[in-house]
Amino acid sequence: MISNIAFDLGGVIFKLCKSQAADRFVEIGVADAHSLLDDFEQKGIFGALESGQIDAEQFRVELSRLAGRELTREQCRYAWVGYAGERPRWIFDTLQELRDRGYKLCLLSNTNPYMMSWVLSPEFDGMGHGVQYYFDAIYASYEMRVMKPASRIFEMMLAGQHATAQETLFIDDSPRNCEAAATLGIRTVCPANGADWRPLVEAALTE
């Protein structure tokens, strides 16, 4: 029986807007941002930041080199937050409802300190709450120093949640990430980016 539900962030909790993020990186001076950024797993200095190989300040310095001018942390944050699109109220209501029903909820995301500084802030849900208000635990790639779809990040999440794979449902808009979780025996739901995942989740919980 499912008792633990792990949610991806971009694409599930908010609609993922890669083009908007790339436009913002171009705006601050990174001309080839559209080819450098990815929807699910970043590469280069972007991947190094999200996998914890470099910190926020090292990223700022390296991005400044790419831009050919000095960038501030605020500019870096502005560009990264461009990934975040719509966050409809039903998402937050559903998270609260699932917790009220007794499920343990956690966030499992390939992310970085710039994005999380906004996600954890009262600005995030439009109602004065950061994302931590809705989850029992947050597993962020840059803190764990490993990114999805590596099996180790799922194993670390299971250990942190004191849950088995069979007790866990994982929701992610990346088929590759869902396939990786499924190989460990985790039940998965793979909605399209920004789609209403409620019917799929409810079906998985009632099977």
Asked whether residue 50 falls in the same domain as residue 151, the answer is: no
Report helix, strand or coil for 6.
strand
Final residue in a domain of this structure, among 55, 81, 107? 81
- Please check the confidence at residue 94 and state whether its pLDDT lies above 70: yes
Averaged confidence pLDDT in the chain = 96
The C-alpha atoms of residue 101 and residue 46 are separated, in whole angstroms, by 38
pLDDT exceeds 70 at position 138: yes
| Final residue belonging to a domain, choices 33, 59, 81 | 81
Q: What is the pLDDT of residue 90?
A: 98
Residues 99 and 137 occupy one common structural domain: yes
Q: What is the SS3 assignment for 105?
A: strand
Q: Which residue type is seen at 117? A: S
Question: CA–CA separation, 126 vs 122, rounded Å?
Answer: 7
pLDDT of 87 strictly over 90: yes
The total domain count for the chain is 2
In angstroms, rounded to a whole number, what is the distance separating the alpha carbons of residues 15 and 197?
12
Sequence length of the chain is 207
Query: What are the DSSP calls for 139-172, one per residue?
Result: EEHHHHT--TT-HHHHHHHHHHHT--GGGEEEE-
| Of 31, 66, 81, the domain-final residue | 81
Range of the domain at 55: 18-81
Q: What is the pLDDT of residue 132?
A: 98
Active-site residue (options: 8, 125, 172, 173): 8
Asked if the model's pLDDT at residue 40 lies above 70, the reply is no
Mean pLDDT of 7-31: 96
Please compute the mean of the pLDDT values over residues 46-63 and round it to a whole number.
96
What is residue 119's DSSP assignment?
Answer: H
- According to the model, what pLDDT value does residue 162 have? 98
Residue 116 shares a structural domain with residue 132: yes
At residue 153, does pLDDT exceed 80?
yes
pLDDT band at 35 (very low <50, low <70, confident <90, very high): confident
Does 93 participate in catalysis according to the annotation? no
pLDDT at 112 over 90: yes
The pLDDT assigned to 34 comes to 86
Q: How far apart are CA 203 and CA 2, in angstroms?
A: 12
Q: Say whether pLDDT at 111 is over 90.
A: yes
Tokens standing for 33?
């941002």
Q: What is the pLDDT of residue 32?
A: 87
Entry pTM:
0.95
* H-helix or E-strand spanning residue 5: strand 4-7
3-state secondary structure of 110: coil
